Structure 1
Amino acid sequence: MHERKRHNLLAMAPQERLDYFVRKIVDFEQAWGLYQDGWATSAFDGGEAVPFWPEAALAQACATGAWAGFVARPISLDDFRGRWLPGLRADDRVCQVFPVPTQQGVVICPDDLGGLIHDELQPYL
C-alpha cells in the first residue's frame, strides 16, 4: 500500500472508516482480521469486540501492543456474512470496524453491520 494512501486512510474519522470498510469488503469480497493462536479481540463495555479491517496492511498496522505478533488473515465475504456475523451475534459480541493505532474504530452490532453490507451489495444482486 502506498504510504500516502495509508496515511489518509488512518486519518479518516471513524464513520468514514466504517463506510470505507463496507465498500472495500464488498468490492474485494473479503475482510481482514488479526490472528495468532486465535483471533484478536478487545474488551468493550463489559463484553468483547472483534476487530476487522478492509485491507491487510491496515490490519497489520494495528498489530502492536496487546496484538503484537498477530498477523493479518483474510476472511471471505461469504464467510463473514454467513458465519462470522451470525456467530458474533450468538456469542453476544460486537464488531470493531477499522480501528487504527490512535482510535478504536466504530463498534457496531453484527446485525447492523450485516445490514450495511447487504445495502452495499444491492446493486450487484
Structure 2
Amino acid sequence: MSEQALSAIKLDAQRLADVVTLSAPQRYAHFLRQVAETGEVWGLYRDGWALAKTDDGSLVFAMWPASQFADLCAEFEWDGYEPLSFPLDDLVQDLLPQLEEDGVLPGIFYTPGERGLTPTIYMLRVDLERALRP
C-alpha cells in the first residue's frame, strides 16, 4: 500500500474518532449537515431496523449520517446488523410520519459509548428543513 493510501486511511480513522467523540448536540448538528449534503440517512438492519429504548421505555429508531458511524454501533444488542442507507426524502416523507404514528422517537447519532439525541419528530423535521435551505 502506498504511503499516500496509508495517510488517507489514518486521516479517515482520525476524522471518524474526532466526530464520534463530539458531544451529543454537536453530533446532532453534524448529522443534520451531512444528511442535508448527501441526501441519505443510515440505519442498522437485520430482519428489521435496529431499535433502542429510552430510560422510560420509549422505542427509538437509531440513525446516523454515514455507514462508518452506524457500523461502529453494530455490537451487543445490534451485533449482526449491517449499515443500510435510505434517501433523506424517504425519512421526511415516509419514515417520520410512520414513527410519529407508532410513537417511536428518532435517535440521532448513537456512538458505542453514548446514546444519541432523541428530538421530537417535529423538531427533527424543522431542523432538517433548516439544514436543507441554501
TM tier, shorter chain? over 0.9
Query: Identical aligned pairs, as a percentage?
Result: 27
Q: Aligned residue for 1:35?
A: 45
**How far off its partner does 1:41 sit?**
0.1
**How far off its partner does 1:112 sit?**
0.9
1:1-125 residue pairs with structure 2 within 5 A? 2-44=12-54, 45-123=56-134
- Deviation sequence 1:8-46 (CA, Å, 0-9, x none): 011000000000000100100000000000000011122
SS in 1 for 2:118: strand
Superposition CA RMSD, Å: 0.9
Distance in 2 (alpha carbons) for counterparts of 1:111 and 1:75: 20
Distance in 2 (alpha carbons) for counterparts of 1:110 and 1:50: 11
Paired residue total: 123
**What amino acid is the match of 1:10?**
V
Deviating 4+ runs (over 6 angstroms): none
**How far off its partner does 1:47 sit?**
1.4
TM-score by length of 1: 0.95
Question: Conserved in 2, the CA contact under 8 Å of 1:51 and 1:99?
Answer: yes
**What amino acid is the match of 1:109?**
T
Question: Conserved in 2, the CA contact under 8 Å of 1:89 and 1:111?
Answer: no
Question: Conserved in 2, the CA contact under 8 Å of 1:93 and 1:109?
Answer: no
> Which one has the bigger strand percentage?
1
TM-score by length of 2: 0.89
**What amino acid is the match of 2:110?**
P
Structure 1's unaligned 5+ residue stretches are none
Structure 2's unaligned 5+ residue stretches are 1-8
**What amino acid is the match of 1:106?**
L
